[in-house]
Amino acid sequence: MNKTIASLADAVSVIGDGASVMIGGFGGSGSPIELIHALIDKGVKGLTVVNNNAGNGHVGLAALIEAGCVAKLICSFPRSADPVVFTERYLAGKIELELVPQGTLAERIRAGGAGIPAFYTPTSYGTDLAKGKPVAEFDGRSYVQERWLKADFALVKAEIGDTHGNLTYRAAARNFGPLMCMASSTAIVQVSKLVEPGGIAPESVITPGIFVQKVVEVPNPAQEEDLNRAGARYP
């Protein structure tokens, strides 16, 4: 078994127009910049993207939106230090937004990966974001029904990966990565360091390889924050 892909271009070549794509990261932390830029290079249209945010500046997710690849965004917080790319398109009606509370977004993705089609949460009960959703009472409290979230693809950044797809993550860059690998049909992961099986102690594996389909090595990956501070734009 070897899930290694030689190049970023090969890794994203399977993503076509209209696909649903989960993209890991919380702001810049854990954002798979190189995979996103490879997807821009490929040139796709009409994507539904799931991410916590809506991009910052003109690199990474913001650049994917700016390149016209994204038709719909499912996220919790479409604001950032420089949200101009998303904001302009949203206010012009050129991109659809599904706003989801952050914990609900995480749990919907987890549920998608865990085979749970719906669940009840106290979050958003009695608010505008619960409108149209079923409500039920359990043990005297009211809860809102939320549905699972799955995607065709996930683009995730991990720290160390082996050729079986076992992964570790760096610091707080873990965030949505393990959940999105589970919830997508094809999880495409960029790792800073690729190792042979056994190179990661089994006790240290965060995402087991069963959830990962493709691994591409990207040594010294870019950080969105560093790129933005340098005024970078992509392409």
Partner 1 sequence: MTAEKLSNAQIAWRAAQDIVDGAYVNLGIGFPEMVAQYQPPGRQAIFHTENGILDFGPAPKPGAEDWDLINAGKKAVTLKPGSAFFDHATSFAMVRGGHLDVAILGAYQVAQSGDLANWSTGPKGVPAVGGAMDLVHGAKRVAVITEHVTKDGKPKLVERCTLPLTGVGCVTRVYTSLAVIDIDGGKFVLREKLANMTLDALQALTGAKLHIDGAVGELKVPSLAA
Q: Which residues contact 56 (CB under 8 A, 6 or more apart)?
A: 27, 28, 62, 80, 81, 82, 83, 224, 228
81 binds partner 1 (CB under 8 A): yes
186 binds partner 1 (CB under 8 A): no
Residues in 39-68 at the binding interface with partner 1, rule: CB under 8 A:
52
Quick one: which H or E segment has residue 122?
none
Among 161, 165, 178, 209, binds partner 1 (CB under 8 A): 178
> Per-residue x/- mask for partner 1, residues 133 to 162, rule CB under 8 A?
------------------------------
As measured in angstroms, the least distance from the Cβ of 220 to partner 1 is 13
Report residue 151 as tokens.
Answer: 């995607």
126 binds partner 1 (CB under 8 A): yes
Binding range to partner 1, per CB under 8 A, among 5-13, 14-22, 32-40, 218-226 = 218-226
> Per-residue x/- mask for partner 1, residues 99 to 118, rule CB under 8 A?
xxxxxxxxx-xx--------
Neighbours of 127 (CB within 10 A): 10
Number of residues located near partner 1, criterion CB under 8 A: 54
- Among 83, 82, 63, smallest CA distance to 233 is for 63
Per DSSP, 233 falls in state B
**Residue 45 or 141 with smaller CB distance to partner 1:** 141
- What is the rounded CA–CA span in Å between residue 12 and residue 5? 10
124 binds partner 1 (CB under 8 A): yes
| Buried/exposed 59-68: b ≥16 CB within 10 Å, e otherwise | bbbbbbbbbb
Phi, psi of 185 (to 5 degrees): -65, -40
Could you list the residues that contact partner 1 (CB under 8 A)? Answer: 26-30, 52, 76-81, 83, 86-87, 90-91, 97, 99-107, 109-110, 121-129, 169-179, 206, 223-226
